[in-house]
Structure 1
Amino acid sequence: MFPIRDHNPSGRVPYVTWALIAINIAVFASYWHLFSNDAALARFFYAWGLVPAIGAPETFVTSMFLHGGLMHIAGNMLFLWVFGDNMEDALGHGGFLGFYLVSGLAAAFAQYAADPSSTVPMVGASGAVAGVMGGYLLLYPRAQVDVLIILVIIFRIIPIPAWLVLGAWFGIQIFQGSMTPLEGGGVAYWAHAGGFAAGVVLTLPFWLRLGGPAFWSRNLGHPPHPETNARLVRTDIPHVTRTRRRGPWTR
């Protein structure tokens, strides 16, 4: 399941979201050549990733802008693209930047607290992006999110309420974190959960200023503005059906 867009338009240009995506991609491109040399890549991650057993203060920040592969950065930037613009619209450009960085720091501290003696470097923007998702869930629980569902050869896009998409994601992080051994590396589930929880907490004062539960009641959990109609529309392009040719069964 991959969220590919929401039906929640933003009222301002998300310059910070775009800048964060650009910075992450630029940093990734700067060390792309190291992926052909495992030893050099490991040294790079040990120098700039967060290694809890070392705990170099600067790596709590630098680790947020490193990724372990193409799918890693693509997934994080997709989630930031989908949910970041609305959080930036709500918090303002400067407020959103601070929110993003603090969420990333909280995620790093969560993983550090879970296993402070670990010598495995942690990299990725997942924790900061999880904070964006947590804040989004608090503000717009019933915003529609288009999710691409892939079942073997079946591809389908369906709209799902944000509370279900993001709530399920958070539940999976908690479950997987509790079931996965901390040693040996892998997915930093506790960083995800910590960033998500931080995003909710950081957004809470803003939500309360909007009215808290009354804000939800006014809009039934939907965004306080018309949602985008992202349905497919009919075009003038002719639809050509494929004819079925009779032939033998194969195996």
Structure 2
Amino acid sequence: MGNVVIPVHDVNPARRTPWVTYALLAANFVVFLFLTPGVAGSLTGESGLAQLCHLQAFLDRYAVVPQELVHHRMPNLVPTGDTGVGPQGPGCVVGPPGYAKSPELSVLTAMFLHGGWLHLLGNLLFLWIFGNNVEDRMGHLRFLLFYLVCGYAASYGFALLNADSRAPLIGASGAIAGVLGAYLVLYPKARVWVLVPFLIFLPLRLPAWIVLGLWFALQAVYSSGGGVSDAGTVAYAAHVVGFAAGMLIAWPLRPGTPPPPA
């Protein structure tokens, strides 16, 4: 999820088992490993045009496409998953969509899709560390609803800022950013063990408001395209919107939140 420090553990035990967090972790992993085309090939080192075209067709069907979401219309031509040879040489074949896609439902499916192992594991690490306490405070069903609302807010926010984009938007980052925003509001003084890369990885115990505040500041800078070379390939704006949504939703719960251990 893009950070200069790597969180590994928070000193903030939960009172009850975070079943929803566990289910979300498992669902993201299962979808990536067993349902996303090309993962098996990546594990064996195999790759090729056919695999790429299959993945492109899969993402076009199940990922968020900002242009479709904002204008609520499907394109006339989409990737079919087949390969062919055209004037420019071998490539992916496009054709009329053979399916009915709901842009609104694609926001939900896209939350469980990831572009690679680093993308997946980075997201799941943040959800593992910070999700249990937010679920503990909200309760299981409210936390699930909260997670989905933050994911929708992040996707719609990104789509409105990139209304003409055809690039697929995938990942749980927006929803998990909402979890981080809620954690910052509810447990700003909780201690978080992080690894800071400085020649070697230095372990430090920092308050959550520093760790998550720095994370949010970096996402805001990156979303403007500053200080990073791949700003166009990561939906940093979705992180910013999701984080803000999480803070706003969690704010009313602050007064009754028990303080974390000192």
Band of TM-score, shorter chain = 0.7 to 0.9
**Contact 2:149-2:175 at 8 Å conserved across structures:** yes
Out of 78, 93, 96, the residue aligned to residue 143 of structure 2 is: 96
Out of 194, 200, 205, the residue aligned to residue 252 of structure 2 is: 205
Distance in 2 between the 1:176 and 1:6 partners?
A: 26
Out of 140, 157, 170, the residue aligned to residue 203 of structure 2 is: 157
Alpha-carbon shift at residue 7 of structure 1 (Å): 0.3
**Contact 2:219-2:239 at 8 Å conserved across structures:** yes
With over 3 angstroms needed to count, the CA separation of the structure-2 counterparts of 1:130 and 1:184, relative to structure 1, is closer
**Contact 1:120-1:184 at 8 Å conserved across structures:** no
SS at match of 1:156: strand
From the two aligned structures, give the one with the greater strand fraction: 2
Unaligned runs of 5+ in 1: 216-222, 228-251
Distance in 1 between the 2:218 and 2:260 partners?
A: 31
Alpha-carbon shift at residue 185 of structure 1 (Å): 4.5
- The corresponding residue for 2:225 is 179
- The corresponding residue for 1:111 is 158
TM-score (norm 1): 0.81
Identity %: 45
Distance in 1 between the 2:128 and 2:121 partners?
A: 10
- The corresponding residue for 1:31 is 35
Distance in 1 between the 2:254 and 2:260 partners?
A: 16
With over 3 angstroms needed to count, the CA separation of the structure-2 counterparts of 1:225 and 1:174, relative to structure 1, is closer
TM-score (norm 2): 0.77
- The corresponding residue for 1:9 is 13
- The corresponding residue for 1:168 is 214
**Contact 1:8-1:143 at 8 Å conserved across structures:** yes
Alpha-carbon RMSD: 1.9
Mark the structure with the bigger radius of gyration: 1
Alpha-carbon shift at residue 62 of structure 1 (Å): 0.7
Aligned pairs for 1:222-241 (under 5 A) are 224-226=259-261
Unaligned runs of 5+ in 2: 40-46, 70-102
AA partner of residue 157 (structure 1): P
SS at match of 1:54: helix
Distance in 2 between the 1:68 and 1:148 partners?
A: 24
Matched pairs, number: 213
Out of 171, 178, 187, the residue aligned to residue 124 of structure 1 is: 171
Distance in 1 between the 2:167 and 2:114 partners?
A: 14
